[in-house]
Amino acid sequence: MTFLAAARFWPILPEPGLIFWTILIFFLFWMLMSKFAFRPIADALAKRNGDIEDALQTAEQARLEMANLKSENEKLLSEAREERAQMLKEARDTGNATIEEAKNKARQEAQKIISNARQEIENQKLQAMKEVKNEAGNMALEIAEKVIRRELKGDPSQVTFVNDLVNEIKLN
């Protein structure tokens, strides 16, 4: 009784015919919904799930590509560093070779200048020796001339002999 007494206070009291039609309409509604609404919703959810899977796969591929690009970038950077180091080494070697060549050229020029200076000194020395010899010869001739003049002043045969020698020298 308590249940029946409580049932009387309900605002809607279901009757057996109402319950039957409600259940029948509910099942018909459920069938229509499953055919026209649940299937498209399930398809949309499946499509969405597929799209999410595709996006995840695309993201994974992008991550892998980024990792590959990063490794390639690091490889290129290391190659660029090696190339830069090689270029610097070549430039340094070229600079050292140029400096060494300039030093060798300067040494050769210095040797040439020294050799020319020695040759010039030798030439001037020989010229000076020649001049000294000529001067000494001239002085010896002057002395000999003065000595011979003093001794030959009085003898006419010797004057004739000297004149003949002078004429003979002029002809040669």
Locate 137 and state its tokens. Answer: 């010869």
Separation of CA 134 from chain center: 69
Tally of domains in the chain: 1
Taking a C-beta distance cutoff of 8 angstroms, is the pair 159, 152 a contact?
Answer: yes
Convert the pLDDT of each residue in 69-108 to its tens digit: 999 999 999 999 999 999 999 999 999 999 999 999 999 9
Three-state SS across 41-67?
A: HHHHHHHHHHHHHHHHHHHHHHHHHHH
Convert the pLDDT of each residue in 19-61 to its tens digit: 898 899 999 998 988 888 888 888 889 999 999 999 999 999 9
Model pLDDT, residue 18? 80
Kind and range of the H or E run holding 170: helix 156-171
Distance CA 13, CA 1 (A): 16
Convert the pLDDT of each residue in 123-165 to its tens digit: 999 998 888 888 887 887 777 777 777 776 667 777 777 777 7
Residue 31 domain-assigned (yes or no): no
Model pLDDT, residue 50? 94
Residue 98 domain-assigned (yes or no): yes
Residue 159 domain-assigned (yes or no): no
Residue 50 domain-assigned (yes or no): no
Residue 10 domain-assigned (yes or no): no
Question: For residue 7, is pLDDT > 90?
Answer: no
Residue type, 172: N
Residue 109 domain-assigned (yes or no): yes
CA angle 56, 57, 58 (to 5 degrees): 90
Residue 122 domain-assigned (yes or no): yes
Residue 121 domain-assigned (yes or no): yes
Range of the domain at 129: 74-154
Report which of 28, 12, 9 is spatially closest to residue 20, judged by C-alpha positions. 28
Model pLDDT, residue 140? 77
